[in-house]
């Protein structure tokens, strides 16, 4: 699977924040081959109201650091990084590739950035496909529930959403299945056995839905090497390999969400490149 990346992703930064460029520090980005995305600004309206978009843009043009909430910052490079993260997700959907992006997106609702997220990259790319007559299954393996993604796609007949995530934990949502959003909250310490129990319940639903595309929100904070950084799940690489290998039967693309131990990101990217 190819990578999509833009160097501006390394410039969205507040020192000491867990969502920082050091997440990529174990990747040799100079030697990795990757596709470079254009800005996805023109597609923001698929999800986000213009008032919210303009607020993010204006804050990024001001000097200093601004906070949307206690977790989510905006610096002078946030606008450029965020619109290219959207562009990367869309390009990944077109090339069946993986978008190695910052900032992540699955917590961003239509009109609110939160949980380190500014724009909802995976939702915009998925709705762009829906606008072209495609059906999309979004599979979210991040340790946190993608509350923003669910908020955006809930009730959409052309999308189903699957999430395995730690509960209790941030943001406190995803406790039950709602319409087309299939949630499997897992207690802290859960590993592969708990993932595959959830997967076996969901997979028949996926087959019946028969999507044209599978969109992967891959957060490697559920990987065992990220245990204790922000969350407490213990997945091996097997769950990630399982969803990536859906490429055998479906068109698959992915977007990076969490993962805060640089070694987790390195192992995840190596797996992605091997598929």
Known catalytic residues are 107
Contact 172, 140 (CB under 8 A): no
Kindly tell me the burial class for residue 193, based on how many C-beta atoms sit within 10 Å of its own C-beta (0-12, 13-18, 19 or more). Answer: exposed
Tell me which DSSP letter residue 20 carries.
Answer: S
Kindly tell me the burial class for residue 188, based on how many C-beta atoms sit within 10 Å of its own C-beta (0-12, 13-18, 19 or more). Answer: middle
Q: d(Cα 234, Cα 50) in Å, to the nearest integer? A: 40
Contact 256, 222 (CB under 8 A): no
Q: d(Cα 93, Cα 127) in Å, to the nearest integer? A: 11
CA angle 263, 264, 268 (to 5 degrees): 115
Kindly tell me the burial class for residue 95, based on how many C-beta atoms sit within 10 Å of its own C-beta (0-12, 13-18, 19 or more). Answer: middle
What is the Cα 201 distance to its own chain's centre? Answer: 22
């Amino acid at each position: 699977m190819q990578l999509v990346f833009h160097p501006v992703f390394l410039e969205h930064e507040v020192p000491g924040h867990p969502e920082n460029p050091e997440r990529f520090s174990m990747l040799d980005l100079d030697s990795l081959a990757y596709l470079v995305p254009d800005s996805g600004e023109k597609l923001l309206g698929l999800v986000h109201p213009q008032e919210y978009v303009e607020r993010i843009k204006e804050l990024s043009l001001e000097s200093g650091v601004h906070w949307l909430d206690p977790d989510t910052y905006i610096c002078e490079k946030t606008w450029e990084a965020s619109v290219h993260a959207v562009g990367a997700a869309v390009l990944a959907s077109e090339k069946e590739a993986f978008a190695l992006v910052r900032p992540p997106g699955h917590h961003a609702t239509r009109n609110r950035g939160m949980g380190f997220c500014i724009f909802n990259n995976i939702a915009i790319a998925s709705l762009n496909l829906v606008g072209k007559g495609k059906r999309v299954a979004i599979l979210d393996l991040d340790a946190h529930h993608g509350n923003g993604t669910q908020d955006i796609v809930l009730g959409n007949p052309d999308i189903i959403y699957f999430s395995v995530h730690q509960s209790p934990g941030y943001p406190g949502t995803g406790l039950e299945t709602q319409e087309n959003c299939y949630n499997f909250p897992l207690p802290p310490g859960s590993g592969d056995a708990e993932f595959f129990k959830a997967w076996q319940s969901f997979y028949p639903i996926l087959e019946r839905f028969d999507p044209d595309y599978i969109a992967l929100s891959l957060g490697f904070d559920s990987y065992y090497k990220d245990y204790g950084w922000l969350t407490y799940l213990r997945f091996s690489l097997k769950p990630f390999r399982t969803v990536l290998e859906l490429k055998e039967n479906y068109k698959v693309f992915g977007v990076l969400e969490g993962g805060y131990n640089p070694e987790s990101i390195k192992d995840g990217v190596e797996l992605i490149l091997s598929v």
